[in-house]
Amino acid sequence: MRVVFSSLFLVLLAEVWLVTSLNFSSQSPETQAELESQDPQNQTWLENTWTVPSDEEEEECWLRTRQQQLSNETSNFGFSLLRKISMRHDGNVIFSPFGLSVAMVNLMLGTKGDTKIQMENGLHLQALSQAGPLILPSLFKKLRETLSSNQELDLVQGSFAFIHKDFDIKETYLNLSKKYFDTEYVTTNFRNSSQAKGLMNHYINKETQGKITKLLDEINPETKLILVDYIWFKGKWLTPFDPVSTEADTFHLDKYKTVKVPMMHQKGNFASTFDKKFHCHILKMPYQGNATMLVVLMEKTGDHLALEDYLTIDLVETWLQNMETRKMEVFFPKFKLDQRYEMHKLLQHMGIRRVFSSSADLSELSAMARDLQVSKVLQQSVFEVDERGTEAVSGTLSEIIAYSMPPVIKVDRPFHFMIYEEMSRMLLFLGRVVNPTIL
Same domain? 157 vs 293: no
Same domain? 14 vs 66: yes
Same domain? 186 vs 327: no
Is 389 within the bounds of a domain? no
Which residue segment(s) compose the domain that 268 sits in?
243-336+394-433
Same domain? 343 vs 420: no
Q: pLDDT at position 427, please?
A: 94
Higher pLDDT, residue 318 or 130:
318
Is 29 within the bounds of a domain? no
Same domain? 258 vs 405: yes
pLDDT in tens, 326-353: 999 999 999 988 888 888 899 999 999 9
Q: Is the pLDDT of residue 13 over 70?
A: no
Residue 230 burial (CB count, 10 A):
27
pLDDT in tens, 75-105: 999 999 999 999 988 999 999 999 899 999 9
Residues 6+ apart with CB under 8 A from 409: 272, 281, 283, 297, 328, 329, 330, 331
Same domain? 159 vs 285: no
Higher pLDDT, residue 432 or 150:
432
Is 28 within the bounds of a domain? no
Q: pLDDT at position 273, please?
A: 95
Same domain? 292 vs 320: yes
Query: What does the chain come to in residues?
Result: 439
Assign residue 135 the CATH number of its domain.
3.30.497.10
Is 50 within the bounds of a domain? no
Q: How far apart, in whole angstroms, are the C-alpha atoms of residue 436 and residue 385?
A: 10
**Residues 115 and 355: beta-carbon distance below 8 Å:** yes
Task: Report the share of the chain in percent with pLDDT over 90.
Answer: 46
Region 291-306 average pLDDT: 93
Same domain? 134 vs 280: no
Q: How many CA atoms lie within 13 A of 376 on its CB side?
A: 22
Chain centre to alpha carbon of residue 366: 27
Residues 6+ apart with CB under 8 A from 244: none
Same domain? 265 vs 199: no
pLDDT confidence of 47, banded at 50, 70, 90?
very low
Is 127 within the bounds of a domain? yes
pLDDT in tens, 198-224: 888 888 778 777 777 776 777 888 888
Same domain? 129 vs 101: yes
Number of domains composing the chain: 2
Higher pLDDT, residue 69 or 193:
69
Same domain? 125 vs 263: no
**Reported pTM:** 0.83
Region 111-129 average pLDDT: 94
Q: pLDDT at position 304, please?
A: 92
Assign residue 253 the CATH number of its domain.
2.30.39.10
Is 171 within the bounds of a domain? yes
pLDDT confidence of 153, banded at 50, 70, 90?
confident
Is 102 within the bounds of a domain? yes
Q: pLDDT at position 389, please?
A: 63
Is 351 within the bounds of a domain? yes
How does DSSP assign 304-339, residue by residue? HHHHGGG--HHHHHHHHHT-EEEEEEEEEE-EEEEE
Same domain? 81 vs 170: yes
**Residues 158 and 184: beta-carbon distance below 8 Å:** yes
Nearest to 275 by CA among 400, 406, 416, 396: 400
